[in-house]
Amino acid sequence: MTLIFQDEFQRTLPKLIAQAALDNCSTVEAWTFDDQASRRAAEARLAEIGIKARFRSAYKPLLHFFLEDVDISTLNAITVVYPRHPDCSENRFLCETYPLAALVGETTLAFEAGECGEFTYRAILTDKNGISSIHSVLAPNRVHLDACGATRVSPTGWIRIGNKTDERLKTDYETVYEATLQAITSFDWGQTEPYFDELNLLISLPSRDCRLPIGEEVISLGEGMVEDLYFSLLEYFQVKSGRVAGDFTARPGQIVPEIRFAEQDAPLALRVEVRSLANGESNGQSQDLDWAERPISPDQIRAELASIAGEAFEAHSRSGRTINARYHKGEDRSVFISAGQHPNETTGIVGALRAARQLSARQTAHFVIAPLENPDGYELHARLRAVNPHYHHHAARYTAFGDELANRVTDPLFEKQIRKEAERRSGACLHLNLHGYSSHEWTRPLSGYLPRGFEKWAAPKGFFLIMVHHADWTVCAEQLIGMVTARLGRLPPLIEFNRVQISLFEKHFGETGFQMINGIPCLVQTDDKRSVPLTLISEYPDQTIYGGAFRAGHDVQTEFVLSAYEAYQQLAATP
């Protein structure tokens, strides 16, 4: 273990309280990265000494305005005029209002683009008596360069004291983020990848999460911090290695940001260290696979896989964990089924195993299944979920090398070897690749707000399919996706689930870009570089869901595999 950096940081709110008392000012207004309880407590402490204070949220300020200052039930109509800025996307500040459209109920809501200029929303509220009022809602932002030198427009703190002060306030939240980046980017990592085994960032924050009454939505400063640090550092090491930011072939090592919650008045704390790779295995009680309400344990994955007749084969991960697969020979056209490429996408593993179990009972079934392609990421996900079960945990998305296993082309292939062997043994021309994505909004609060390169993945938009095919397999691809969507389109709960999520997404983020086929959203792409001619990818919003929502997710994933397998057998001909 090597300690890189350790420090504590004074809280912004106590500092503001002390400064206001010292200056004996009459009014204070500030925007900070704190939960509502902390901000209200700070206001009360100043009220005790005769100072009128209002502490607002610097994170998603328009949404907090409606949550904290407006009784929506008294309104008949709302118009929000959102700001724009030339250094960020046209609808960036519209995106930040998410998921307001789901909170207003029957109240009419309209969004309008404002002029480029000040970082201020205008909210025009019309009550049920027809009386209108106009409110200016400051959205403090700063224009800056990120760790890779790209221009970003990011939320920041702000302070107003009477008529004397109206300026940016660098908050504790921003200070911890910048200190972490500074400590890591100034360290001598050498020139050889991977630069470390595990780079661990342990951060103590006092802000509690706020669940919203909309699906899996949550306001979480803790999750925002770990997501922003993870991708900011991944981008930094991508550039350091000579690649461009967003090139996920880089192998820096495993980056692990972890959040712990501190008491309200405790300082923010940061510890950055390099650790050895963990190689243990999480335990968990076995579940009835058809009714599983949470991710199943690695031991159960192995047991379920072993119950499927066929040839066993394996590969190994960077940490030495085993990737297990099984080849079930038969007379049908062969299909390759995989899941767990991104182990924070939790429903595909269960769905793949459920479907394979059913297929294996058929006399002519012919398939190969690799239900957990990234066991290192799966173990990290279990470790992180134990503390923060509802975070996206994208730190577990990639391998212990920090790369995207599907993009790996140089030896040693490690996890990627399971795919090559599955394709070699089976000769499959159809790969069913089960995935998931964000079950609630995904943000990067301090480096541009929207996740760079994943802007269209920033909020859930229902279950959808991605068909990637070779050019000479176009007819087969069209026939296959037509038959699969026809079957899935007969699931009323899924259609309604999609309708609700897509409607909310489009109100805040714009068009999804989907092609609707038999009522199922689809993306169809041609790529002759794929190793198999047909790849059909499922995407269910499952980071991270439990209980009935988890069961519903793997029900859909199971049905996807079965419908695709059967449709593939029915194709008239293949090239």
DSSP β-ladder status, 367-370 and 254-261: unpaired
Cα(376)–Cα(400) distance, integer angstroms: 6
pLDDT for res 264? 73
Long-range contacts of 87-91 (CB under 8 A, 24+ apart): 87/143, 87/151, 87/152, 87/153, 88/152, 88/153, 88/448, 88/449, 89/450, 89/455, 91/509, 91/510
Cα(200)–Cα(187) distance, integer angstroms: 14
Other CB atoms within 10 A of residue 192 CB? 8
Burial 138-172 (b: 16+ CB within 10 A, else e): bbbbbebebbbeeebbbbbbbbbbeeeeeeebebb
> In degrees, to the nearest 5, what angle opens at C-alpha 346 toward C-alphas 345 and 350?
135
Cα(10)–Cα(265) distance, integer angstroms: 9
Cα(41)–Cα(13) distance, integer angstroms: 10
Q: Write out 463-515 in H/E/C secondary structure.
A: CEEEEEECHHHHHHHHHHHHHHHHHHCCCHHHHHHHHHHHHHHHHHHCCCCCE
- Mark the ranges of the chain whose per-residue pLDDT is less than 70: none
pLDDT for res 162? 76
Nearest C-alpha neighbor of 318 from the set 410, 189, 194, 191: 194
- For residue 170, the 8-state DSSP code is -
What digits encode the pLDDT tens for the residues 491-545?
999 999 999 999 999 999 999 999 999 999 999 999 999 999 999 999 999 998 9
pLDDT for res 262? 85
Cβ atoms 235, 222 nearer than 8 A: no
Cβ atoms 345, 542 nearer than 8 A: yes
What are the DSSP E strand ranges found in 318-460?
322-328, 335-338, 367-370, 430-438
Amino acid letter for position 491: L
Dmax over CA atoms of the chain, in Å, equals 84
What digits encode the pLDDT tens for the residues 192-244?
999 999 999 999 999 999 999 999 999 999 999 999 999 999 999 999 999 99
Classify 134 as helix, strand or coil: strand
For 566, counting Cβ atoms within 10 Å of its Cβ (0-12 exposed, 13-18 middle, 19+ buried), the class is middle
pLDDT for res 265? 76
- For residue 364, the 8-state DSSP code is T
The overall pTM is greater than 0.85: yes
